[in-house]
């Protein structure tokens, strides 16, 4: 135990050194003897362990007081040896990388955040494509200080708390060992520099919140749940960071007539029994207006008529537009007068139909529905 060097001697500070002086001395030595800087140098590694141990004790008021009273003799098992040595400390260091050897400038810029907005459009707008003006609020670079945050003519000073690194290392001793954690510097918020004379327009922030109008070009064929991305239209970056993007989530409103699946559209065409039985020319609604549709005699309910190219366009413009599928659906009259009822009964007896027997069962709508589900 007595072969150990005095902790104050190890760090090269006076016994009455302040916490700040201890920290500065430690940092200087740690940078000098860090294993990353001295690969394979056993002496440097020993020295590094030694200064870490000294710093750990002297930076902790309780342990420092203890050390000042008892020296390396540590009644109560509070010494660093009892805390499990430094193997854990080293592992932590190498896993996290070292704050000492990295280039502080790489971490000084912060990228701007992406912005997300919701954009509701109608099915007609989705089919044709549309331009929408939206209001956004975003962080933009301050034009007075050009994002530096410093009053024009002045510049930011290197942070004294982290010495411009932007990170601070904390060593914590537990009964499981010593752990080193690297956290962003609180003083400079990880930027490595502090603004001594803030820009009057942005108050040192470097950015200002601005309301903007943006015109979004929604392409034809866009579908619910798709996103439009406008590169670089999000928040501005800080201190040279890149701007974020603007994302618009597309929501296509439910249409009263049309259902959509990809490029295909579906609609229901209510028809009477007579129109199906005798055939008819009917008007059907499409996204671009009315079209006439020939329903041949003897058409079943649930029959599908395909209107080629009357569906949705392909959003990439590579495939032909989809079709509009018009599905017939028989409407049974709910109010019949006596004369109409009599006519239907006459019709039934002409067909040899017994009112109480069902029509011969076959694979009708139900079968088709299940076929589609297969």
From residue 372, alpha-carbon distances to 259, 367, 368 in Å are: 16, 9, 6
Closest C-alpha to 238, from 341, 166, 154, 315: 166
Smallest distance, Zn ion to C-beta of residue 185, A: 3
Maximal CA-CA distance, the chain: 121
* Chain positions contacting Zn ion, by CB under 5 A: 142, 144-145, 159, 161-162, 185, 187-188, 199, 201-202
Smallest distance, Zn ion to C-beta of residue 237, A: 14
Smallest distance, Zn ion to C-beta of residue 98, A: 16
- Which of the 8 DSSP states describes residue 166? S
Residue closer to Zn ion (CB basis): 25 or 159: 159
Smallest distance, Zn ion to C-beta of residue 192, A: 6
Distance CA 66, CA 271 (A): 96
Residue closer to Zn ion (CB basis): 11 or 199: 199
Smallest distance, Zn ion to C-beta of residue 6, A: 30
Secondary structure of residue 81 in the 3-state scheme: coil
Q: How wide is the angle at C-alpha 366 spanned by C-alphas 360 and 370, nearest 5°?
A: 135
Task: Quote helix, strand, coil % in the chain, to nearest 5.
Answer: 25, 25, 45
Smallest distance, Zn ion to C-beta of residue 84, A: 30
Distance CA 123, CA 134 (A): 19
Residue closer to Zn ion (CB basis): 192 or 234: 192
Secondary structure of residue 244 in the 3-state scheme: coil
Smallest distance, Zn ion to C-beta of residue 236, A: 12
Closest C-alpha to 359, from 303, 305, 304, 301: 301
The answer to whether the CB of 356 falls within 8 A of the CB of 348 is no
Residue closer to Zn ion (CB basis): 85 or 109: 109
Residue closer to Zn ion (CB basis): 171 or 326: 171
Smallest distance, Zn ion to C-beta of residue 129, A: 40
Q: How many C-beta atoms lie closer than 10 Å to residue 199's C-beta?
A: 22
**What DSSP assignment string belongs to 216-240?**
EEEPTT--TT-EEEETT-SPPPBTT
Secondary structure of residue 259 in the 3-state scheme: strand
């Amino acid at each position: 135990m007595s072969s150990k060097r005095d902790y104050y001697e190890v760090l090269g500070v006076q016994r009455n050194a302040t916490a700040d002086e201890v920290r500065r001395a430690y940092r200087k030595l740690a940078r000098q003897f860090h294993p990353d800087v001295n690969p394979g140098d056993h002496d440097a590694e020993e020295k590094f362990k030694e200064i870490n141990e000294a710093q750990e004790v002297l930076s902790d008021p309780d342990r420092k007081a203890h050390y000042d009273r008892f020296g390396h003799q540590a009644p109560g098992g509070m010494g660093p040896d009892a805390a499990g040595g430094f193997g854990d400390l080293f592992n932590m260091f190498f896993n996290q990388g070292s704050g000492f050897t990295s280039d502080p400038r790489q971490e000084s810029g912060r990228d701007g955040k992406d912005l997300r907005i919701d954009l509701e459009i109608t099915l007609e707008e989705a089919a044709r494509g549309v331009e929408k003006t939206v209001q956004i609020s975003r962080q933009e670079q301050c034009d007075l200080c050009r994002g530096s945050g410093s009053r024009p003519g002045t510049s930011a000073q290197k942070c004294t708390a982290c010495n411009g690194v932007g990170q601070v290392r904390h060593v914590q001793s537990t009964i499981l060992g010593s752990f080193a954690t690297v956290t962003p510097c609180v003083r400079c918020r990880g930027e490595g520099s502090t603004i001594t004379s803030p820009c009057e327009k942005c108050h040192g922030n470097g950015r200002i919140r601005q309301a903007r109008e943006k015109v979004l070009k929604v392409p034809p064929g866009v579908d619910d749940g798709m996103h439009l991305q406008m590169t670089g239209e999000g928040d501005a970056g800080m201190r040279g960071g890149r701007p974020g993007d603007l994302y618009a989530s597309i929501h296509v409103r439910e249409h009263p007539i049309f259902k959509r699946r990809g490029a295909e559209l579906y609609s229901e065409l209510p028809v009477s029994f007579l129109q199906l039985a005798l055939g008819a020319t009917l008007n059907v609604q499409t996204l671009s207006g009315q079209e006439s549709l020939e329903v041949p005699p003897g058409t079943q309910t649930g029959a599908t008529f395909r209107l080629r190219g009357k569906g949705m366009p392909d959003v990439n413009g590579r495939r032909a537009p989809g079709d509009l599928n018009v599905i017939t659906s028989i409407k049974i009259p709910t109010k019949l007068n006596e004369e109409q009822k009599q006519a239907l009964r006459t019709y039934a007896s002409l067909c040899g139909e017994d009112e109480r027997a069902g029509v011969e069962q076959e694979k009708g709508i139900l079968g088709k529905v299940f076929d589609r589900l297969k």
